[in-house]
A = this chain, B = another copy of it.
Amino acid sequence: MPLQEKDTYQEKDDSSRINPFVRVREDHANELSEDYLELIEDLIDRTGEARTVDIAAKLGVRQATVTKAIARLKREGLVTAAPYRSIFLTNEGKKIASRAREHHRTILEFLIALGVQQDVAEIDAEGIEHHLSPATLAAMQRFIQQQPAAA
């Protein structure tokens, strides 16, 4: 029995650790969920409820797109929603949302500490937040701490 039949078999679990491109594709598969959940939590905190129309406006997509995405999140057990009613996070959804928000905040603070203008930092943070390993986030944290809030 051969030790490697790599030609046709693709590792599923730790290929992400050895191939950066595979890792990026995996990141992207989680990206939408994270953005939706973070945004839903935000809307609930700030306006009392998360409505399809507001999510669509924030994300810059059509409402039909949001409806479809919500159906998927429901399937995955991350949100609950009754037809024509607003959207709520499950406990699992809340966990992901909080983690996403934290990452987002860390990265934003980091970029600003690095000297990037606020509005540019906001934009870049939204993209890179899904691609950073714990180690890199930790390094960013250290950097923020070292910078004593420059004037």
Contact = CB atoms under 8 A, between A and B. Distances in A.
Interface of A: 10, 15, 17, 19-25, 27-28, 35, 58-61, 111, 114-117, 120-128, 130-133, 135-136, 139-140, 142-143
Chain A contact surface mostly: helix
A4 to B, nearest CB: 14
29 contacts: A19-B59, A19-B60, A20-B123, A20-B126, A20-B127, A21-B35, A21-B59, A21-B61, A22-B60, A23-B127, A25-B60, A27-B127, A111-B139, A114-B136, A114-B140, A115-B139, A115-B142, A116-B135, A116-B136, A117-B135, A120-B133, A121-B136, A124-B132, A124-B133, A124-B136, A126-B131, A127-B128, A127-B131, A127-B132
Contacts of A127: 20, 23-24, 27, 128, 130-132
Given A10-B60, A127-B128, A136 B120 contact: yes
Assembly stoichiometry (copies)? 2
Contacts of A131: 124, 126-128, 131
A54 to B, nearest CB: 13
A107 to B, nearest CB: 10
B136 A21 contact: no
Contacts of A117: 135
B115 A123 contact: no
B139 A23 contact: no
